[in-house]
Amino acid sequence: MIRITSGTPDQAVSLEDARTAARANGTELDGELSIMIAALTAEAEHATGLVFVSRTYHVTLDEFPAEIAMPARPVAEVLEINYVDAGGVDRTLDAATYRLIESGGSMVLAPMPGVAWPETSGVDAVKVDVICGHGSSESATPAAAKGFILARIRESHTPNATPSPYLIRSLDSLKAY
């Protein structure tokens, strides 16, 4: 099971930039623009497989698989790996015993060469806490993602504009193939 346990109140683009893209004077559209930023950020994250503004994930597993798939990219930090050992004792895995590697465009945790994952006991025996994302503020959002979000906001606030079916392609440079 994967849960998001914390995120930041920051958005992938600033409300001020969104107001400029929408050609809005004043704050009367701020509620609508905030919703659009969140929705377009989710669309861009889905299209790229990336997380733009950092959030913490809690991954729960019954046992250690060969590799532990990370919930998102990029991985900023593995906070800790806790597990219930074969004797039923709660333990924290030493960070020197595992490594973060790229595997087929995804990030995974794997034991260091010559090291095996420990034996576990019980349901939900392995718990991994990890921070994924480019950074904790909109300044860390990749330019291509900001451009996509702001262009979509501009399109939606331009009278008689026809949405471009090609705009989503501006995110291609962020994808891992």
pLDDT at 136 over 90: no
Cα–Cα distance, 101 to 108 (Å, whole number): 5
pLDDT at 7 over 90: no
Note whether 154 and 22 are within 8 A (CB).
yes
Please list the helix, strand and coil fractions of the chain in percent, rounded to the nearest 5, in that order: 30, 30, 40
Task: Give me the long-range contacts of 153-159 (CB less than 8 A, separation at least 24).
Answer: 153/18, 153/21, 153/22, 153/33, 153/36, 153/37, 153/40, 154/21, 154/22, 154/23, 156/22, 156/36, 157/21, 157/22, 157/23, 157/24, 158/23
Mean pLDDT of the chain: 92
pLDDT at 23 over 90: yes
Cα–Cα distance, 50 to 175 (Å, whole number): 8
Which residue would you say has higher pLDDT here, 136 or 99? 99
pLDDT at 41 over 90: yes
pLDDT at 75 over 90: yes
Cα–Cα distance, 124 to 120 (Å, whole number): 10
2-52+136-174: what fold? Hypothetical protein yqbg (1.10.3230)
Q: Where do the structural domains in the chain lie, given as residue ranges?
A: 2-52+136-174, 59-124
Cα–Cα distance, 77 to 80 (Å, whole number): 9
Does this model's pTM top 0.85? no
pLDDT band at 8 (very low <50, low <70, confident <90, very high): low
pLDDT at 9 over 80: no
Percent of all residues in the chain with a pLDDT value above 90, rounded to a whole number = 77
pLDDT at 100 over 70: yes
Provide the sign of the torsion angle of the four alpha carbons 87, 91, 94, 100, taken in this order.
positive
Cα–Cα distance, 27 to 12 (Å, whole number): 19
